[in-house]
A and B are shown apart, each in its own frame.
Chain A
Amino acid sequence: MYEDLSVFRIAFDAARHAGQRQAVVARNVANADTPGYRSQDIEPFSLSATKDSFAPKSTRQGHLSATEPARLWSVSNVAEPGSMSPNGNDVSLETEMLRAIDADRQHNRALAVYRHAMTVLRTSLGR
């Protein structure tokens, strides 16, 4: 019963999505003054992306895939009209702040869900 609890998996995936988004935001902010750099974002978190029922099953990570492990969410350039500066850079620090806060809140939310589910488990075990 306890071996595959979907609430933990979803919380884990949400936290990982937030972490990956934070890395993308950090890259955008670091390159805010790099000529020719385009702002990037990852696709929003959704439950369907976490199921990946079509993915081949492997008994150990690294058996099947020689590629990078676990890049579930694709990174894409997001064009924001009107924010392109003359040197070809379209990073807007204000938008990045918003994304960073978004990622932070999602991460906190996921961790809260995880912690709460853990508490429920502990209570049911009587500890």
Chain B
Amino acid sequence: MNEFSDALGISASGLRAQATRLRYTSENIANTDTPGYRRKITSFEAHVEKGRPDGTVSSGPMRLDPSALARIHDPAHPMADEAGYYDGSNVNLLIEIADAREAQRSYEANLKIFDQTRQMSSALMDLLRR
């Protein structure tokens, strides 16, 4: 029984972490055309409780991608400099879509495990029902 509640908690932490990642991805996609926007990234890490990892996962601190911003030539843009360039964002839509797909796949896997664990524990409860 203890193992089942462990497993449910761990799966829930995985769901939460993937959802956070998906949120950053959607923020990035929404800000693709925002001048000077740097894409937000996060890295997962094992959650440490009382000095030892307890198996759950948490998304690490949000960081900004330090790669160079795109230089966009548009002399009519209000933020353009003398040469007619302004700094766009460094969001690459291809990367964001791939990231979102991976997050979705992992989310579904966690959900599946959660559901299966719930079924196993309810089968255990069925033994008591008679």
Contacts and interface: CB of A to CB of B under 8 A. Distances in A.
A93 B18 CA distance: 15
A37 B56 CA distance: 12
A22 B7 contact: yes
Contacts of A26: 6-8, 10-11, 14, 55, 113-114, 117
Given A19-B4, A23-B7, A30 B14 contact: yes
A33 B119 CA distance: 25
Interface string B93-130: 00000000011011001101110110110011011001
Q: Which of A34, A35, A108, A115 has the most CB of B within 10 A?
A: A34
A108 B18 CA distance: 30
A111 B128 CA distance: 11
A32 B55 contact: no
A14 interface: no
Interface residues on B, range: 35 or more
Interface in A52-76: none
Contacts of A30: 10-11, 13-14, 17, 55-57, 110
Interface string B47-80: 0000000011100000000000000000000000
Q: Is the interface of A mostly helix, strand, loop or mixed?
A: helix
A21 B109 CA distance: 16
Contacts of A27: 7, 10, 55-56
B124 A97 contact: no
A97 B3 contact: no
A37 B47 CA distance: 12
Interface string A87-126: 0000001001100100110011001001100100000000
Q: Which of B7, B44, B57 has the most CB of A within 10 A?
A: B7
B116 A100 contact: yes
Given A97-B112, A107-B123, A31 B3 contact: no
B127 A114 contact: yes
Interface string B6-47: 111011011001100100000000000000000000011110
Given A111-B123, A114-B127, A29 B3 contact: no
